[in-house]
Structure 1
Amino acid sequence: MITGELKNKVDKLWEMFWTGGLTNPLDVIEQITYLMFIHDLDKMDNDRKKDSRMLDLQYESIFAQKNHLKWSSLRDKSAEEMYQIVIGEVFPFIKILHMDGESTYSKYMGDAIFKIPTPQLLEKIVTALDEVYCLIERQPDNKDIRGDVYEYMLSKLTTAGTNGQFRTPRHIIRMMVELLDLRPGDLICDPACGTSGFLVASGEYLKEKYLEEIFYDEKIMKHYNNVMFTGYDMDRTMLRIGSMNMMTHGIQNPRIVYKDSLSDQNEDNSVYTKILTNPPFKGSLDNDIVSPTLTKIVKTKKTELLFLALFVRMLKNGGRCASIVPSGVSSNSNDKAYLNIRKEIVENHRLEAIISMPAGVFKPYAGVSTAIIIFTKTGAGGTDKVWFYDMQSDGYSLDDKRTPLEKSDIADITLRFKNLAEENSRERTEQSFLVPKAEIVEKKYSLSFSHYKQSVYVEKNYPHPRVIISEIKEIENELINGLLELEKRIDG
């Protein structure tokens, strides 16, 4: 969530487009995104120059012989000159950054159109966007704030929140990335990538933890830039934003693809080592849309169950998944399909953890109760004990304002998950504990924290009923005597 001055700046920026004649929210988001991308190319180029000097590597600037196309150069020009350079040079330049027609970037920038109608409007927007970036840079964690700006813009869409087009909170994404312990050789996928938040966070984590290993090994660097990250989505605007988001975070050619993950379009089988996602759960799909390979795993039309079947199919043996799921996946006992998908994961693979999250985590866009499921695909079972954690605070208030709080369970979750042996001594009355597989089977594969938690009952002794009656009579007598005394004073 963005608030205060930054929110006001974004609102004014948005208003500039509307008063300038661009009233379609998707057009506004796309145009802002293009300009943000032009700004970020300048910053990315400077950062890569610094990294190359630090690592003693050669780097050729993408702006070689074209420094006048940089944001830092454009913003100082007159409105007319800026407009002509953007239309005639900058926009064609960003559309051909990857000449390879098969690259992610070229696929989604090839049909991009610059729609800002006048030099004066462009100058106002560039100035306003510069002010937004200045505010972002002043924030202690400006990467999160940048993501929040995207989220806030998406919230202005009438479809945002119903079509799943809003960010998973960045701190939740980061926690999930850390829980999966990513490695430089991984193949990582988000089958419902949106703005590529999970993929961007995965890339940032890997650079933090394995910077030298990635940048000094040419083979790993090529893998990181071209093969490691795959994202699917069915919204071309999201694909554009997602691919640009990844490119500005230093990932040159991720596989961000237009694809319906649950359909026959998606043929991925035993491909990925890690899946990180928060797929949109829209209810039910028609049978003729869904891939038969998924209904073989679980016979259902419900998307929340079909996505779990999809993760099982897409992972390699030994591959791991961390996905956000609605609470019904954990607890629904009335629909056989819910039981069957839980049974599939518990019996045929290795279920590792269920982390229940409070309903307010996705406010103000949704108030649904959710959980994070973590499992390893084995094809041969392996579930022994499952770790349950009841997250009570994610570090923000659970109302629409989402005000930062001092208390957060996220660090505790990460620490405990990486030291599960120590959880054996935890009591069922505590916030986390291990549950043996046999007990889960006995409870019809329920994965609800509340089904295994034991409540603490404090024994309390109460007086005998006759004593209580006697005390009530004494109080009643005092009231009557008081009323009689009052009457005497009135009459007297």
Structure 2
Amino acid sequence: MLQNNPELKSKIDQLWNKFWSGGISNPLTAIEQITYLLFMKRLDELDLKRQADAKDGWSDPYQSKFEGYWIPPEYRARREEKDSDADWAKKLEEEKKYQVEKRTLRWSEFKRMQAEDMLQHVQGKVFPFLKDLNGAESNFTHHMKNAVFIIPKPSLLVEAVKTIDEIFIVMEKDSKEKGQAFQDIQGDVYEYLLSEIASAGKNGQFRTPRHIIKLLADLVQPQLGHKIADPACGSGGFLLGAYQYIVTQLALKSLKKKEREALEPDEDGFVRTSVAAALTEKAQAILSASLWGYDIDSTMVRLGLMNLMMHGIDEPNIDYKDTLSKSYTQEAEYDIIMANPPFTGSIDKGDINENLKLATTKSELLFVENIYRLLKKGGTAGVIVPQGVLFGSGKAFKDLRKLLVERCDLKAVITLPSGVFKPYAGVSTAILLFTKVWGPKDKVDQPATEHVWFYEMAADGYSLDDKRSKQKTADGKDSWGDLQDIIEKYHARSTKNQAEKNTDRTAKYFMVPRCEIEAEGYDLSLSHYKEDVFEEVHYDAPGVILDRLIQAEVGDVEEAELANVQSGIVRELLELKGMVE
């Protein structure tokens, strides 16, 4: 989070203001253009680092993305069947007229150009190269096809390039001084940029805070080799969260005990590291092929692709798809699903996938059913839902909850405070954690859920108002709220000692047996099962309280003298005292 780095926050605000004053006032357009520039800068930095690592023997040999020449797709020679060798050679020779030295496409090269030349170079060469980066057949190139570079003024580009350079200098400084991984600081910067999108929150879409993403990752514990998905991925936050969790686990295994112990938790209590040595080329390939995201907003697909690529995933599997529609036919594909699907109200009934059986058009219900459908047997999901899903009285609500209890092992319901998604929305939400046991067509011999673990999160370490300021403990340290307690208690809930403690319905966490949930019409609201504690308060007798009030007015006066006091309030207090005695 950038609350603790005012310098970095100030630089990003400056960047926003420059785009605003430069004529790009739509926040979504601005962030797209800023993202393209950040991507160009990061691409250069990452390429130089990989070259240096290879040279120093820290990694395998590496070929720079900026080595050799690049020819724009429209000028590339295409051999046809009728072409003779001479014709083909002539085409290749003609092609050379349009080749661009890749070295000139580096950020560190073009930033030294004059303003007019820089704008023309970035618009006409660097940006087309960026769109073509992974080859004509790549997913990235496909989704970048309609992307446009629309920075209108040379002066705005020069100012933006200068400010982004300054931002990277502060990030490098922060990384060295505070020991935080550079890509994590970059993630903070990107999250802060995303938080500025004024249109976030429309159609039920809003950004999931990074500490909530980390919480879900620690709860579902994705592993290398798992196929992981988010069917409404937005800018790819949950996929990135799963990636960083897995990289951290691999890194921790490779570190010595002292090195592991030296790793400091972040401001929310999570340990994350991006030690490159922990990820072999094979592991990187497995992990990159494991992450799958889908979204119906083409802009968010592009942002998600670049977000993951900036974090070292060269070819992300993020695609433009409506996962609730008839055109999306996947089923029983994934080991892990992490999602915060949009709460849009209703969707087009005519296009809902026939495999979804709930009689509803409410997307929050259909997404949960769809996530169940997409899980392999034994696969686990962590899903954020509006709390209305837990207790809604309609048939579709009850049918979904019955499905979660009978066909899945519904492990936990964790209610979140209503301010978690501010400033976008004040909606009360909950996390559902469940593992698929029975398929949609299986006969259920025995309901899969035995007990459901409930936890009432009261605090997440941030203020629950629109500012979402980081809270401090009494000794001045960053507050973790209930985040780490949830993880500890959730993973310990099945041990005998913990299970015995989980029966107290007055506590913030407890177990409820399935039979009780069935008897209550599959109601999953925590408040339905929680027992309130009423503290008995003893008050002084009315006469004693009145004596205290009289003394406050006139001081220590003999009772005989009180009758002579003419003050209106004292006379009224004396009258009241006479009534109660």
User: Could you tell me the TM-score, scaled by structure 2's length?
Assistant: 0.76
Shift of 1:474: 6.0
| 1:324 pairs with 2:390 | no
Shift of 1:341: 0.5
Which residue of structure 1 aligns with residue 106 of structure 2? 70
Are residues 433 and 412 of structure 1, via their aligned partners in 2, closer, same or farther at CA, if it must alter by over 3 Å? same
Shift of 1:67: 3.9
Which residue of structure 1 aligns with residue 199 of structure 2? 159
Shift of 1:385: 1.5
| 1:97 pairs with 2:133 | yes
**Is the partner of 1:82 in helix, strand or coil?**
helix
Are residues 112 and 372 of structure 1, via their aligned partners in 2, closer, same or farther at CA, if it must alter by over 3 Å? same
Amino acid at match of 1:93: F
Alpha-carbon displacement from aligned partner over 1:28-53 (angstroms, at most 9, x marks no partner) = 22211100111111233245456666
Match of 1:228 among 259, 281, 290: 290
Amino acid at match of 2:155: Q
| 1:432 pairs with 2:509 | yes
Unaligned runs of 5+ in 1: 488-492
Question: 1:38-53 to 2 correspondence within 5 Å?
Answer: 38-49=40-51
Match of 1:485 among 559, 562, 565: 565
| 1:448 pairs with 2:525 | yes
Alpha-carbon displacement from aligned partner over 1:224-243 (angstroms, at most 9, x marks no partner) = 22x31111111111111100
**Is the partner of 1:279 in helix, strand or coil?**
coil
Are residues 51 and 385 of structure 1, via their aligned partners in 2, closer, same or farther at CA, if it must alter by over 3 Å? farther
Do the aligned residues in 2 keep the contact of 1:214 with 1:224 (CA within 8 Å)? no
Match of 1:9 among 8, 11, 18: 11
Amino acid at match of 2:233: C
Shift of 1:14: 2.5
| 1:168 pairs with 2:232 | no
Match of 1:351 among 410, 420, 436: 410
Q: What CA distance in whole angstroms lies between the structure 1 residues aligned with 2:206 and 2:225?
A: 29
Shift of 1:82: 3.1
| 1:418 pairs with 2:491 | yes
Q: What CA distance in whole angstroms lies between the structure 2 residues aligned with 1:352 and 1:19?
A: 51
Amino acid at match of 1:27: T
Which residue of structure 1 aligns with residue 280 of structure 2? 216
**Is the partner of 1:322 in helix, strand or coil?**
strand
User: Could you tell me the TM-score, scaled by structure 1's length?
Assistant: 0.88
Greater mean deviation of Cα atoms: 161-170 or 76-85: 76-85
Q: What CA distance in whole angstroms lies between the structure 2 residues aligned with 1:168 and 1:48?
A: 31
Shift of 1:110: 2.0
Amino acid at match of 2:203: N
Match of 1:133 among 145, 158, 168: 168
Shift of 1:157: 4.3
Amino acid at match of 1:306: L
| 1:265 pairs with 2:324 | no
Do the aligned residues in 1 keep the contact of 2:28 with 2:199 (CA within 8 Å)? no
Alpha-carbon displacement from aligned partner over 1:232-277 (angstroms, at most 9, x marks no partner) = 1111111111001111111122221111111112111001111001
Aligned residues: 478
**Is the partner of 2:349 in helix, strand or coil?**
coil
Do the aligned residues in 2 keep the contact of 1:188 with 1:229 (CA within 8 Å)? yes
Provide the aligned C-alpha RMSD in A: 2.8
Match of 2:463 among 372, 378, 397: 397
Do the aligned residues in 1 keep the contact of 2:136 with 2:142 (CA within 8 Å)? no
Q: What CA distance in whole angstroms lies between the structure 1 residues aligned with 2:184 and 2:192?
A: 12
Are residues 483 and 198 of structure 1, via their aligned partners in 2, closer, same or farther at CA, if it must alter by over 3 Å? farther
Do the aligned residues in 1 keep the contact of 2:51 with 2:64 (CA within 8 Å)? yes
Are residues 24 and 133 of structure 1, via their aligned partners in 2, closer, same or farther at CA, if it must alter by over 3 Å? same
Alpha-carbon displacement from aligned partner over 1:407-426 (angstroms, at most 9, x marks no partner) = 32111111222222243122
Amino acid at match of 1:197: G
Amino acid at match of 1:222: A
Do the aligned residues in 2 keep the contact of 1:2 with 1:149 (CA within 8 Å)? yes
Q: What CA distance in whole angstroms lies between the structure 1 residues aligned with 2:448 and 2:51?
A: 47
Q: What CA distance in whole angstroms lies between the structure 2 residues aligned with 1:48 and 1:439?
A: 58
Do the aligned residues in 2 keep the contact of 1:423 with 1:434 (CA within 8 Å)? no
**Is the partner of 2:350 in helix, strand or coil?**
coil
Which residue of structure 2 aligns with residue 490 of structure 1? none
Do the aligned residues in 2 keep the contact of 1:423 with 1:433 (CA within 8 Å)? no
Greater mean deviation of Cα atoms: 401-410 or 15-24: 15-24
Do the aligned residues in 2 keep the contact of 1:275 with 1:315 (CA within 8 Å)? yes
Question: 1:16-35 to 2 correspondence within 5 Å?
Answer: 16-35=18-37
Q: What CA distance in whole angstroms lies between the structure 2 residues aligned with 1:209 and 1:393?
A: 27
Greater mean deviation of Cα atoms: 370-379 or 109-118: 109-118
Alpha-carbon displacement from aligned partner over 1:114-170 (angstroms, at most 9, x marks no partner) = 222333221111112222333444555565654454455445545321234542100
Do the aligned residues in 2 keep the contact of 1:154 with 1:166 (CA within 8 Å)? no
Q: What CA distance in whole angstroms lies between the structure 1 residues aligned with 2:413 and 2:50?
A: 39
Shift of 1:288: 0.7
Do the aligned residues in 1 keep the contact of 2:236 with 2:293 (CA within 8 Å)? yes
Greater mean deviation of Cα atoms: 183-192 or 439-448: 439-448
| 1:110 pairs with 2:150 | no
Shift of 1:194: 0.6
Do the aligned residues in 2 keep the contact of 1:44 with 1:249 (CA within 8 Å)? no
| 1:189 pairs with 2:229 | yes
Q: What CA distance in whole angstroms lies between the structure 1 residues aligned with 2:116 and 2:543?
A: 92
Do the aligned residues in 1 keep the contact of 2:206 with 2:421 (CA within 8 Å)? no
Unaligned runs of 5+ in 2: 69-101, 255-276, 439-443, 473-478, 554-558, 568-581
Which residue of structure 2 aligns with residue 83 of structure 1? 119
Identity among equivalent pairs (%): 43
Are residues 28 and 107 of structure 1, via their aligned partners in 2, closer, same or farther at CA, if it must alter by over 3 Å? same
Are residues 54 and 164 of structure 1, via their aligned partners in 2, closer, same or farther at CA, if it must alter by over 3 Å? farther
Greater mean deviation of Cα atoms: 318-327 or 66-75: 66-75
| 1:304 pairs with 2:357 | no
Shift of 1:402: 1.1
Shift of 1:437: 1.3
Shift of 1:11: 3.5
Greater mean deviation of Cα atoms: 318-327 or 64-73: 64-73
Amino acid at match of 1:204: Q
